[in-house]
Amino acid sequence: MSLFSKLFKKKQSKPEIKERNLFNMKVNDIVTYELEDFQVVGKLRYNDHGYEWIAYQLLGSDETLWLSVEMDDELELAMYKSIKHKLSEPIPEKLDVNGTEYFLDEKGQARVQGEGRGKNVDGREVKYYDFANEEEDKFLSIEVWGSEVEVSEGYEIDDYEIKILAAS
C-alpha cells in the first residue's frame, strides 16, 4: 500500500444499527418496561418442529424478568418471573401455585438456541409445559432441563408497554 493510498483511504463507516423490534433484540439492548430500564442479558430462541418463540432475559436494578415473544395467530407477549416451587416429573395437568389454580394448556419439547447468559443451553432440548389460570390472565411456565425443573409465573402484556433502545 502506497503512502497516497494510506492518506486517502476512505474512513471505514460504522455498521448501521438496525432498528430493533420484539423479534430481533440483541444482548445488551435496553428495554424500558413500567418506567424501569432493563438490559437484555440473555436470549433464548425455542423451536418445536418449526414453531418458534423467543424469551429475553431482562436484568433490572433489583430484579430479573423474562419477556416471552410469540407470533401465533397474533402477537403474544408475556412477562415472567422465576419462582421457587418444587416440582418433579411427571408434571400434573393442574397445579396450585401461590394461591392460583393453573391448568395445562400446552406441552412439548423444543430445541433451544441461546445467546448471552443463555449460551450455556445453546443446542440443548427442553421439555416445556405452559399453564394458564381459568381467566387466562396469569400464566405458569415450566421447563425441564434434564433433572432440573424451572418454574416461572407470568402475565400478558401489550407491545406498547415495551420500549426498545438498541445497543451500539
- What DSSP assignment string belongs to 59-120? E-SS-EEEEEEEESSSEEEEEEEEE-----SSPPSEEEETTEEEEEEEEEEEEEEEEEGGGG
26-30, 76-80, 119-123, 164-168: which range is least confident on average? 164-168
Total-model pTM: 0.88
* Residue 8, pLDDT score: 54
**Banded pLDDT at 18 (limits 50, 70, 90):** confident
3-state SS class at 7: helix
Q: Hey, what's the cell of 66?
A: 423474562
37: which residues sit within 8 A by CB, 6+ positions away?
Answer: 30, 31, 60
- Please give the residue that has the higher pLDDT: either 95 or 14: 95
Examine residue 90 and say whether the peptide bond preceding it is cis (omega within 30 degrees of 0): yes
β-strand partners of 24: none
Q: Hey, what's the cell of 91?
A: 408434571
Q: Hey, what's the cell of 106?
A: 400446552
Tens of pLDDT, residue by residue over 68-109, are 999 988 999 999 999 999 999 999 999 999 999 999 999 999
Q: Hey, what's the cell of 22?
A: 420484539
Average pLDDT over residues 50-65: 97
Buried b (16+ CB within 10 A) or exposed e, 128-161: bbbbbeeeeebbbbbbbeeeebebbbbeebeeee
